[in-house]
Amino acid sequence: MRILLKHGFETNNQSNGGSSYIQRCLVHMSFVWDIFNRSRKNLSTTEGRGKLEIIELLVMHGGKWVPEEDYHINSARRSLLKMSSDYTHEFLKIMAKYGACSRIHAEQLLKTPSIKALISDEQERIKRLLKKLP
C-alpha cells in the first residue's frame, strides 16, 4: 500500500468523494480464518490491526470514510462489534486526527445500543474524539 500511495494511488474512488478501500478494511477487519474461535466476539487479531494501519495510511494520503449507503455504516458497525472496543476507539481516533469522516457518519456508526454497550468503558474518550470531527 505504501508503494501504491507513493506513486499517486487514488484513495478516494467513490463518486461521493469517499474511499471504498477504507470501507472494505472496516468490513473485513473482523474476518477470521480460525474455525475454532466460535464466539467471534472481542477479537483482537494481527489482521485486524493491519486493517487499521491501512486505514491510517489511506487517510494520511487524503482518504475519507464517506459511506454511500446506510448499509455501509451497518456493515462497518457489525464488523466492529466483533472486535474488542479499542478497534472502534482507534478507528475514530484516526478519523478525528485527520478529519477523515464527518461527525454525522461517526455518530450514525455509534447510534445502536449494541455498539454503545461495546464502547461504554471508552465513552468519554470517544465523545472527545467526536467533537474533533467536522
Query: Which of the residue ranges 36-50, 52-66, 90-104, 110-124 would you say has the lowest mean pLDDT?
Result: 36-50
> For a pLDDT cut of 90, what percent of the chain falls above it?
78
The whole-number pLDDT of residue 2 equals: 84
pLDDT band at 100 (very low <50, low <70, confident <90, very high): very high
| Alpha-carbon separation of residue 68 from 17, 20, 99, 123 (angstroms) | 10, 9, 18, 27
Q: Distance of alpha carbon 44 from its chain centroid, rounded?
A: 14
The whole-number pLDDT of residue 1 equals: 85
Greatest C-alpha distance within the chain:
42
Q: How many Cα neighbours within 13 Å face the side chain of 49?
A: 3
100-124 mean pLDDT = 96
Q: Please check the confidence at residue 38 and state whether its pLDDT lies above 80.
A: no
Q: Which grid coordinates belong to 106? A: 461517526
Q: Which grid coordinates belong to 121? A: 468503558
